[in-house]
Amino acid sequence: MNMSDRIQYLRKTKGISQEELADKVGVSRQAVSKWESEQSTPDLEKVIIMSDFFGVTTDYILKGIEPVTDKEQKSKEIASKILYISSTAFVAIGLLCAFGGWYELQTMEAVAGSMIIQAVGIVGYFIARILSEEKATFYVSWFNIIGIAFMPISMITGYISILVFKQGWVAPYPNGIFHTLTFILLFFVVLVASYAILKKRAK
């Protein structure tokens, strides 16, 4: 890994764009792009600013000498990764419980407990962000958004189906052809929009 790779790695680990890094360092986005593509190298002043911003030594940026991290920080990073994965699991479990509860009882009370499970997953996600500077992977963030958005979108489109087509349920998953079609349309928009936003943030 050369200097350009290390700068790109640190930026992506921080979860910021080239433009955001440029603002922090006091250069143009094109300058950061050139650093990451080996067209130029930052001067010492900029290296010092980046080392402070990323929390690494200048030796790491310049030479790739890994800084010695303490055990507490390592433990926090591990705990953070576990919480990120657990958050996605809780969101998925909550979704499945909502499906099962509604299928059996058709009451919103049966769905409420499932929403609490998802809420626990969301809290775990944000605790992970507080514990460590390490960001969740793209797919963990995307799956969480999709899982959390599924039930509200289904309920909203169910309500729309009742108002417009006089059929359907305000349910955690689509029921009936009109509810399903409306749900697919809105959910697809959320899928594409969230994917595009997260991808843009990851650059």
The Cα 160–Cα 149 span in angstroms is 16
88-130 residue pLDDT tens: 999 999 999 999 988 888 888 878 889 999 999 999 999 988 8
Q: How would residue 145 be classed by pLDDT, with cut points 50, 70 and 90?
A: very high
33-42 residue pLDDT tens: 999 999 999 9
- Inter-residue contact 67 to 56 (CB < 8 Å): yes
Segment holding 151, helix H or strand E? helix 138-165
Residue 174 pLDDT more than 60? yes
201 — alpha (psi -120 to 50), left (phi > 0) or beta? Answer: alpha
Whole-number Cα distances in Å, 174 to 99, 104, 134, 179, 192: 10, 15, 36, 6, 19
By three-state DSSP, how is residue 145 classified? helix
- DSSP label of 101: H
The closest of 159, 54, 45 to 108, measured between CA atoms, is: 159
Q: To 10 degrees, the CA torsion angle through 161, 163, 168, 170?
A: 90
46-94 residue pLDDT tens: 999 999 999 888 988 888 876 555 566 777 788 888 999 999 999 999 9
